[in-house]
Structure 1
Amino acid sequence: MTAQLARVASQKPRQGFWGLWNVSFGYFGIQIAFALQNANVSRIFQSLGSEIDDLAFLWIAGPVTGLIIQPLIGYHSDRTWGRLGRRRPYFLAGAVLAALALIGLPNTGMLLLAAAFLWMLDASLNVAMEPFRAFAGDMTPDDQRAQAFAFQTCFIGAGAVLGSLAPALFNWLGIANVASEGVIPPSVRYSFYLGAAAMVLSVGWTVLRVREYSPEEMAAFNGSTVQADAAQHEPLVYPRIGPFWVIAGVVLLALVASLGLDKQLYVLGSGLAVFGLMQIGVRATSAKGALAHIVSDLAQMPVQMRQLAFAQFFTWIGFFIVWIYTTPVVTAQAFGATDTSSAAFNEGADWVGVMFAFYNGVAALAAFLLPLLARRIGNAATHAVGLLCGASGFIGLLLVRDPDLLLLPMVGMGIAWASVLSMPYVILTRVLPPRKFGIYIGIFNFFIVIPQLVVATLMGGVMRSFFPGEPRWTMLVAALMMAMAAAAMMLVKENTRASGE
């Protein structure tokens, strides 16, 4: 009886409404910054003289910085403890640096300097964002994770709506949205200032209002006496397949050079080779630092994480295709315009911004309905349903030609987006050792970033080969990817705890 009472006493406390609000509120500012970046960076680069063909290369900053920084931040945040706690130092540092980048990006008059600010912004947003996923796991018991991630998703949707519409709102208030050549319009600059303020204030709210559990408390919640740094003393696994990745990368680089393939494939080939060299180096030196732990934990992912990785891979291919090609599809199909200087094209492009704001608003609302469905059919099945809603929405973008009716496919897309931002993390945090939430969620980001790199490097060639002048068929490809992701989710086994807790 005494042992049973001790176990009950060591259960992690449930959060009330305001506790969940405080834990997640920082995401509101982070997502405003992301939305501003997604909607306006290409506009800034083009205003500063970038050619359209160079935009994809400049945009590759996001996936690359996320691939490198998120697992490193996860590794170190798992092992940090100080006056501000475990995760909060990273929130705060990332927010301050991102705010500086948001102020600098629209005020530089040089393309290269603007690109440098974009890299700084992406890196800072990754520093602030990565620990937030682990933070929700740290601060809530297993049976409240769905609610915690629902709050995060709600703030992500609300922030995306405000960030997406900010330039139009400032223009509505009488602030100009045009400027002379080489100058960023005032409405865009003021929007970035708004994003900087929101970033610092919302993240600062979470930093000041939440007290993190100490390493000793976290160990007690898990029914053990394991200290926070115990993971550093675990035996490491050194993969033997490094040479395979190097060979694959070198072969791809040789094919690009010899066959004159899309030069962006150099990025993918180089990435494969570097990943292989990293594994070879870690194994050859029997390294013990952050890189060795990332490689080792990648090799030892829980089976549920491997299953989720397949679903994530197809999911993010689908979404990234839609983000890239919705504008040319909608402007051509619903507005009959392909000339980027025409009034019809710009009207259509503005409507795409409204559509994207709408689906983020739907996601903010759907976030609180998904946990209710999950209680009835399970998290994996709920996510599969959400992904199928997204697939139907993408088919709608292929078929619908009336601008107003295009909001209907956005409902399906919004439900899918709400599920993507919550359900995989609910499943994941239930099977991970709590002392490794940070590093494993950082590694999980690989299966978000790699699909984006694949789309960025391959989709242009696919378009030229199979859909020349017909971008609408990319929506069919995206829908098929989402359907495959839904099928993969049905293979995910839930609720098996990771060993070593």
Structure 2
Amino acid sequence: MLAFQKNLTNRFFALLSLPASAMGFALSVQIAALSWLLTTQYGLDLHDVGLVWAAGPIAGILGQVIIGAISDNIWFWGGRRRPFILIGGVLAALSLLALPNIGIISSAMGVDGILGVAVLVALTLDLSINVSFNPTRSIIADVTPKGHERTKGYTWMQTVSGSFGVLAYVIGTFWNNFALIYIGVGLVFIMSVVPPFFVKEPQALGFADPSTPNNKLGFWKGMLVIQPLWGFLIYSIYAMSLQILNIKDTHYYAEAICLAITLAFIAKTLLAKEQRNPDGTSETGFKKVLAAHSFTWLGVQSMFIYIIGFINQNHPSLNDTESGQVISGSFLVLNLVAAILPALLLEPLAKRLGRVKLHTYCIITMAIAYLVLSQLGTSTISIYIMMGFLGIGWAATISLPFAIMSVKVNAAKMGLYMGLFNLSVVLPQLVSSLGVGKFIEQVADKNMLFVVCGVCLAISAVCWFSVKEDIHQQIDA
């Protein structure tokens, strides 16, 4: 073990953050360029764009849970997380290279139509990102203690990742999205392949206490653990089936039923008492985190996918390049705030207020900013200002929940639980792609996008109020 890892120095936390930053950069490229590329270069409508984006959550469902469970129980190439970081990083770089060449790939394959190839490329990219994302996050929990250092690890992850995210949107705003994609290929490859060789992983993860209820987790037990997400899961299966069978559903009966199921199971979860095991873990606490985090991502992902419709409605005079620059500029501001806040402000505030309480406050600010933005779309300056406020919640969303959930589960099953936790991201993403997309395409006023986002974040904030602070945080405080 190198000295900077043994002493948990800032240099170590920065290096430890680079693989996750590589995947974050790949995701930033996808967010900034994919919808723009598909609508302006290949002529797909918003509904088809939503279908392409649905490939990512599907990859997340398969990739993160399976890879997380496998990485908990194997050891090769000098680690349990390292091999998947290396493999995923290389594949992600190659997939980014394919993005601007979808038309060429389609012609080379002799395929008549862009949509199928776009879905294939997006699925490959997202599967690659998800192969690496779980290990890059799990390794932080593997090599840090549960207390303040765990929070520091994840806030540093977001600061470094957010800084590269800012770079991505600077390139997209002041250069162009094609330059962003090709630069991303090199950065993703380097940041994925080099850092893992300087981090020593522990061969033993936590302890396997037979009295801990979540020590053994089969399929049905796993389904019970993710009960707050059942409504999202049912709707995702239903909506994907309609897409595969090419059935058009112009009503919202299924959406209403699945929303009722979701709210019922979330209410059941929130009302349950959060009891802790001797090692400080809590299955009920983990469920509450799933419930709260899911509605955060339903709102956030809807913004990422459909902001192009919001921009086109409120700024019809912009050409394709200019609309892409406004989107990149908006996400630049969002990620600039999210890069500055975690290590500079969120880490010390979390030590004083507690991770859960601080995160809840940040989610409330995000809900308010979304609702305000729904009324201020005609001014690009107003959009940029409100994106700054949204950055507060975004900074918290991609840092604090990892630290919160990691102390509520068995350390020996961290990869598996990190994968299950990711379902609170990918299932809402599917609902956003397949359900919210249908609503946004049909509604005349695209400003309703941010009303939907604001309501989702408000529900998330209510859920976070029910999550207990972990005992290690209380001891640190």
Give the TM-score category using the shorter length.
0.7 to 0.9
Map 1:243-392 to 2 at 5 A: 260-261=248-249, 302-333=283-314, 335=315, 337=316, 342-343=317-318, 347-368=322-343, 369-392=345-368
User: In the alignment, is the contact (CA less than 8 A) between 2:36 and 2:308 conserved in 1?
Assistant: no
Match of 1:457 among 423, 427, 434: 434
Alignment correspondent of 2:18: 25
> Structure 1 residues 68-77 or 369-378, which shifts more?
369-378
Gapped regions of structure 1 (runs ≥ 5): 1-11, 172-186, 270-299
Decide whether aligned partners of structure 1 residues 250 and 118 sit closer, same or farther in structure 2, where only a CA change above 3 A counts: closer
SS in 2 for 1:82: coil
Percent identity for Structure 1 against Structure 2: 25
Map 1:42-441 to 2 at 5 A: 42-46=35-39, 47-48=41-42, 50-108=44-102, 109=104, 110=106, 111=114, 112-143=116-147, 144-170=149-175, 188=178, 190-215=179-204, 218-219=205-206, 234=216, 236=218, 238=220, 260-261=248-249, 302-333=283-314, 335=315, 337=316, 342-343=317-318, 347-368=322-343, 369-400=345-376, 401-441=378-418
Cα deviations across residues 314-365 of structure 1 (Å, max 9, x unaligned)?
Answer: 11111122223333334433x3x2xxxx436753442221011111010001
| TM-score where L is the length of structure 2 | 0.79
User: In the alignment, is the contact (CA less than 8 A) between 2:50 and 2:305 conserved in 1?
Assistant: no
Cα distance in 1 for partners of 2:324, 2:234 equals: 39
Decide whether aligned partners of structure 1 residues 200 and 231 sit closer, same or farther in structure 2, where only a CA change above 3 A counts: farther
Cα deviations across residues 233-256 of structure 1 (Å, max 9, x unaligned)?
Answer: 9484745989x9899679957996
- 1:93 offset after TM fit, Å? 0.5
Cα distance in 2 for partners of 1:258, 1:378 equals: 48
User: In the alignment, is the contact (CA less than 8 A) between 2:138 and 2:418 conserved in 1?
Assistant: yes
Decide whether aligned partners of structure 1 residues 314 and 249 sit closer, same or farther in structure 2, where only a CA change above 3 A counts: closer
Cα distance in 1 for partners of 2:174, 2:328 equals: 12
- 1:156 offset after TM fit, Å? 2.2
Cα distance in 2 for partners of 1:447, 1:478 equals: 16
> Structure 1 residues 199-208 or 107-116, which shifts more?
107-116
Decide whether aligned partners of structure 1 residues 386 and 237 sit closer, same or farther in structure 2, where only a CA change above 3 A counts: same
Cα distance in 1 for partners of 2:247, 2:189 equals: 48
Decide whether aligned partners of structure 1 residues 254 and 55 sit closer, same or farther in structure 2, where only a CA change above 3 A counts: closer
What amino acid is the match of 1:27? A
What amino acid is the match of 1:79? N
Alignment correspondent of 1:179: none
Determine which structure has greater relative contact order: mean sequence separation of CA pairs < 8 Å that are 6+ residues apart, divided by chain length. Answer: 2
- 1:264 offset after TM fit, Å? 12
Cα deviations across residues 428-480 of structure 1 (Å, max 9, x unaligned)?
Answer: 11121111110001011111111111222222443467xx3111122122112
Decide whether aligned partners of structure 1 residues 168 and 461 sit closer, same or farther in structure 2, where only a CA change above 3 A counts: closer
Decide whether aligned partners of structure 1 residues 235 and 408 sit closer, same or farther in structure 2, where only a CA change above 3 A counts: closer
Cα distance in 1 for partners of 2:380, 2:57 equals: 31
SS in 2 for 1:324: helix
- 1:119 offset after TM fit, Å? 1.6
- 1:107 offset after TM fit, Å? 2.7
Gapped regions of structure 2 (runs ≥ 5): 107-113, 258-280, 473-477
Decide whether aligned partners of structure 1 residues 209 and 262 sit closer, same or farther in structure 2, where only a CA change above 3 A counts: farther
Decide whether aligned partners of structure 1 residues 248 and 155 sit closer, same or farther in structure 2, where only a CA change above 3 A counts: closer
User: In the alignment, is the contact (CA less than 8 A) between 2:297 and 2:425 conserved in 1?
Assistant: yes
User: In the alignment, is the contact (CA less than 8 A) between 2:144 and 2:150 conserved in 1?
Assistant: yes
Cα distance in 2 for partners of 1:232, 1:310 equals: 18
Cα deviations across residues 245-286 of structure 1 (Å, max 9, x unaligned)?
Answer: 89967995799699941599999x9xxxxxxxxxxxxxxxxx
Cα distance in 2 for partners of 1:147, 1:356 equals: 24
Cα distance in 2 for partners of 1:118, 1:360 equals: 22
